[in-house]
Amino acid sequence: MNQPPQPPAATGRVRFPNISPRAYEHPADRGALATARAVPGFPAVLKAISGALGERSERLLALASSIKVTETQYPTVHRLRLECAAVLDINPVPEVFVTRDPHANAMTIGMDEPFIVITTGLIELLDEDELRFVIGHEMGHALSGHAVYYTVLRRLISMVTGIAWMPVGYWGMRAIIIALQDWYRRAQLSADRAGLLCVQDPEVALRTHIKLSGGIDVGEIDTEAYLKQAKDYDAVPDVRDSVLKLLHLSNRLDPLPVVRAADLQRWAAGEEYRAILAGEYPSRDNDDVTNWRDDVKSAAKSYKDAIASSADPLAKVLNEVGDILSSTAGKVWKKFTGDGPPRDNGGDPDQK
């Protein structure tokens, strides 16, 4: 058990000393990253890219084309930066740059010392609390180590057009890119939870998602109807619509905002979030390092739970197929071992 969280001096929000990122990371995030790491050639690509330039290219570009946030440049953003870092106990505090772009966006990039880039479109769209949620979201990326893999993804996307003429190299790169894109969409769910820990108000997080979905005056949006859209999206009556949903995610780096909002609101209403606020969370000092099998098994349970509660007809089919495969695997295990199937350990035959 950790020491009770302490409030930062100026905000009244609780702090979470030495919090491990596993406290808020979505199981699907860890599982998808573990899967991406298992793609053939990924370790070599990561080593080559990280060893070649580090984050020098991105940082130099930010210094030359954006405004570095300090006490005298975007002082409100600077204060929110320090407060969010204090809540999540991040040191050193990632730098923040503001870049001219009408699109509302933010990202955390870099290899050794990740930094945050926020667009002017995002600053103009959000109020102070909503901006706190977004900065906390990006701080979550930094604490979880997402910036390294996102930076690799950005560079691979920019590089892949240059080797399209070489089939072996191109398709190898595409496999890694697709795996990383799938992971990064799920990483947003983790970072949203970190943002909620920083703002500590689910309504602020919901307002932010509404604005990112197209809401201009949040007062004109029925939040219950907005969240019902996620249920309607999940409950499409036709398998053809399910296939279209998969196509919607092709080459998309962020989850669909309405679905993302609903996922965070479910977490905010659950026991995990309340426990963290009460000081019950894993510490970085005591955080056991798990292997990729553990992460994949955790993700598999998350997927199965999500599919079981889904009204999507394709999800129902996949769930039934998964049950059949699981039953068949158990019979095969019994045939070759003379014993019953492995106990409920995520299907890992190494742990009986």
* SS3 readout for 67-89: EECCCCCCHHHHHHHHHHHHHCC
Residues 24 and 267: their CA atoms lie apart, in Å, by 10
The residues with which 106 forms a beta bridge, in sequence order, are 118
Tell me which residues of the chain have a pLDDT lower than 70.
Answer: 1-11, 50-55, 160-172, 235-255, 287-352
Residue 127's pLDDT is what? 96
H or E element, residue 30: helix 27-37
CB-based contacts of 210-213 (< 8 A; 24+ apart in sequence): 210/261, 211/104, 211/125, 211/126, 211/130, 212/104, 212/125, 212/257, 213/257, 213/258, 213/261
pLDDT in tens, 290-341: 554 555 455 445 545 554 555 444 444 444 444 433 444 444 434 444 544 4
What pLDDT was estimated at residue 245?
Answer: 42
- Domain segments of the chain: what residues? 21-291
Quick one: pLDDT at residue 279? 95
pLDDT of residue 251: 56
